[in-house]
Structure 1
Amino acid sequence: MTKQKCIFLDRDGVLNVERGDYTYLPEDFILENKVPEALALLKQRGFLLIVITNQGGLAKGLFSRAQMEACHQKLLQNCNYAIDAIYYAPAHPAISASLARKPDSLMLEKAIAKFNISPAESWFVGDQLRDMQAAEKVGVNGILVGPHSPATYIRQQHNLWEATRFIITQA
């Protein structure tokens, strides 16, 4: 079976606007600029699209799985169901330890195994260094986006649309 190429995507700050607080109400879940267009272009280029997100507010009891899933449903609807899978880590270090939570790589490892993904042909677009650390652990290329990107990080783009344009020139 041929290995597939994939774009792994952090959620908050990449797909939806980072509010600085937990986003768990659909009315607060606002897509970043040109996200549907970016995902459509990546799909046209043959990439799987998999969301990899820490959702520690679940462990803290700040919101329910149903609330989080309502946000994910809004994401899927607004992006024409282009996303192939959503992996989330419900743990938070203040409450419970988890190897799934980024910067650890268990969510990525599960997706790579399930979907027969080629890490060398795949990318992780995230807005935090922990996203890049998780990608590095499994041999996936990383691109930082957004205002949290340290000036010293090699691959940076302003947002997912710009990251998408960069990725398709590399593929």
Structure 2
Amino acid sequence: MKNRAVFLDRDGVLNQDRWDYTYRPDDFVVLPGVPEALQQLKAAGYHLIVVTNQAGIAKGLYTAAEVRQCHAILQEACGHVLDALYFAPGHPSVSESLSRKPDSLMIERAAARFGVALAHSWLVGDTRRDAQAGHKAGVGHLIHIAGREPKGPEAHWETASLLEATALILSNS
């Protein structure tokens, strides 16, 4: 069988979502249970791939370097288990991009890079556009993390946290 992956949104799934852009390393806080969840998924043989919109770059609020600093903090906190961290720097008010969710180019690029069988993979996000991107790419299993906005029709399940989503993924693997 081809490789399986768990595609992960960042803000609100892996780290605290500040609602006003999370880009300062001092403000980047990994959510409780995230390191354990990622370790469990990695041990089960999943590629772990972050796919995150970072519109503040296009808006001139922060830089790609600041995003990479936050990703380095995330990798360190989680034992360097993330295989790749993709971010879409565009925003429709400034520039159009097929990478920006709800479009699916970040997922498609990662799938090609790692030889991922999308139908046997998972996506965990906290917005409808996350699930829409996964659906558009052909990701077989879509989980919505409750809290930021209501679950849309694209998502198959809803959980309270990544740790709870991980239990669901592992029980259905």
TM-score (norm 2): 0.95
Could you tell me which runs of 5 or more consecutive residues in structure 2 were left unpaired when the two chains were aligned: none
Whichever residue aligns with residue 148 of structure 1, its letter is: R
Correspondence for 1:43:
42
Deviations 1:29-84 (A, max 9, x none): 00111000000000010000000000000000100111111101000000000000
* Separation (CA, whole Å) in 2 of partners of 1:166 and 1:92: 33
CA RMSD of aligned residues (A): 1.1
Kindly report which structure 2 residues correspond to 1:1-171, keeping only aligned pairs within 5 A, or say none: 2-140=1-139, 141-150=141-150, 153=153, 154-171=156-173
Identity of aligned residues (%): 49
> 1:17 aligns to what SS in structure 2?
coil
Deviations 1:6-41 (A, max 9, x none): 000000000000111101111100011100000000
Report which stretch shifted further, 77-86 or 63-72: 63-72
Whichever residue aligns with residue 156 of structure 1, its letter is: E
* Separation (CA, whole Å) in 2 of partners of 1:117 and 1:109: 9
Q: Is the 8 A contact 1:14 1:146 kept in 2?
A: no
TM-score (norm 1): 0.96
Could you tell me which runs of 5 or more consecutive residues in structure 1 were left unpaired when the two chains were aligned: none
Shift of 1:121: 1.2
* Separation (CA, whole Å) in 1 of partners of 2:137 and 2:53: 17
